[in-house]
Amino acid sequence: MGECVLMAPGCVEIDASGLDFSELNRRVRSEVCRGKREIVLRNVTGQRYIGTNLYNTAESLDQVNITIYGTPGNDLGAFLDGPTITVFGNAMDGIGNTMNRGLIAVHGRAGDIAGFSARGGEIFIRDNAGYRAGIHMKEYMAMKPVMVIGGTVQDFLGEYMAGGVIIILGLTLKDGESHHCRYVGTGMHGGAIFIRGNFAEHQLSKAVGKADITSEDQSLLRSYIDRYGALFDADVSCVDLAEFTKLVPLSVRPYKKLYAY
C-alpha cells in the first residue's frame, strides 16, 4: 500500500490505495520538496485536496505535473498556484476552488461548483459538469480564469460570476437536444459565458443578456477549442464559432440601487 515507484529522474509514482487524503498529500508534498516534478498517482479513490498543500515547496510550481488515475475527491486543486493536474477519470465537487494559477484537465466529468471563486488558471473538463459551475469566478489584472466544459452543465452556471471566461462546447448534447441548465448567470456581475448549442430564453437569469461576439472573442474561442481538442484528443472540427451565444452581465453593480442613499 502506498508504494512509491521511482521512474526517470524527476518522476515518481505513488500508489494511493489505502492512503487517506492527508497521508497521500503529505507524500506528494515531500516528493515536490525533493525536486520531483512529474508525480503520478495511481488508484486514487476519493482523496481530497490533491495539489492544495504545495505552497513553498519549490521556487516555481509551474513545472509540477500531477497525473491522477482514478477518482480524486472534492476540492481537487483547491488554492492551486501553478501546477498542472491531469485526471484520467471523473472529478468530484469543487475542483479548482479559489485557484490562483495552474491548469486542471479532467478526462471525464466534474461534479458541482467547478472553478468556485477561481481568480486565475485554466480548467478543462472533457464531458459535463454539475451544478453552479464557475460560481463567483473573478479576475484581477492579468489574472483571468478560463474554464472550458466539453459537454453541458446543470443549473446556476456562472452564478455570482465577477470575472473570467466560461466556455461550454455542448459536445455531449444529442442531435437537436438543448441545454437543460436553468438560472444561468444568477447574480452575475462580471466576466463572460460562451455557450454553444440551443437553450430557451427562460433558462437565463434576469442578470444576464446576450452580446455580440467580437473578433477578439473569436480568437479566444478558437484557441481554447483547439487546446481542448489537443488535450483530450477530441475531434473539434464540428465546432462552428457561429453556434456560440455570448452572455454578459447586464449590470456590473447589481446592488447599487439596493440601499436608501
Partner 1 sequence: MNPRKASDFGIRSNRLSEFAVERDYERCIKCEVCIRQCSFDVHYRDTEDDVIRQRPELCVGCQRCAVLCPTHALVIRQNPAGYRAHGSWSGEHIKDINIQAETGGVVLTGSGNDKQAPVYWDRLLINASQVTNPSMEPLREPMELRTYIGAKPDAVVVENGKLATEMPPRVKLDTPIIFSALSYGAISYQVQKALAQAARELGTLYNTGEGGLHPDFYEYKDNTIVQVASGRFGVHPEYLNAARMVEIKIGQGAKPGIGGHLAGEKVSEQVSITRMIPPGTDAISPAPQHDIYSIEDLRMLIFALKEATNYRVPISVKIAAVHNAPAIASGIVRAGADVVAIDGFRGGTGAAPKVIRDNVGLPIEFALAAVDRRLRDEGIRNKVSIIAGGGIRNSGDIVKAIALGADAVYIGTAALIAVGCTLCQKCYSGKCNWGIATQNPYLAKRVNPNIARQRLVNLVTGWSHEIKEMLGGMGVNSIESLRGNRSQLRGIGLSKEELEILGVRPAGN
For partner 1, the binding residues (CB under 8 A) are: 21-22, 25, 29, 48-49, 52-56, 74-75, 78-79, 81, 93-94, 97-98, 100, 113, 116-117, 119, 132, 135-136, 138-141, 143, 159-160, 162-163, 187, 189-190, 252-261
Min separation Cβ 163 and partner 1, Å: 8
The CA–CA distances, whole Å, from 34 to 5, 10, 15, 29, 77 equal 14, 9, 18, 9, 20
Exposed, middle or buried by CB within 10 Å (0-12, 13-18, 19+), for 244? buried
Min CB(178)–partner 1 separation in Å: 26
Separation CA 223–CA 242 (nearest Å): 15
Strand-pair category, 122-125 with 38-45: unpaired
What is the closest distance, in whole angstroms, from the C-beta atom of residue 18 to partner 1 in the complex? 19
* Of residues 54 and 87, the one with the C-beta less far from partner 1: 54
Nearer to partner 1, 139 or 148 (CB): 139
Sheet holding 146-149, edge to edge: 4-6, 11-15, 38-45, 65-71, 81-88, 101-106, 122-125, 146-149, 162-168, 190-196, 244-249, 208-211
Closest distance between partner 1 and the C-beta of residue 77, in Å?
Answer: 11
Q: How far is the CB of 25 from partner 1 (least distance, A)?
A: 6
Taking the least distance from each CB to partner 1, the nearer of 139 and 231 is 139
The minimum distance between CB 193 and partner 1, in angstroms, equals 17
Q: Which is nearer to partner 1, 81 or 173 (CB)?
A: 81
Identify which of residues 139 and 170 has a Cβ nearer to partner 1 in the complex. 139
Nearer to partner 1, 6 or 258 (CB): 258
Burial of 142 (0-12, 13-18, 19+ CB in 10 A): exposed
C-alpha 56/C-alpha 94 separation (Å) is: 23
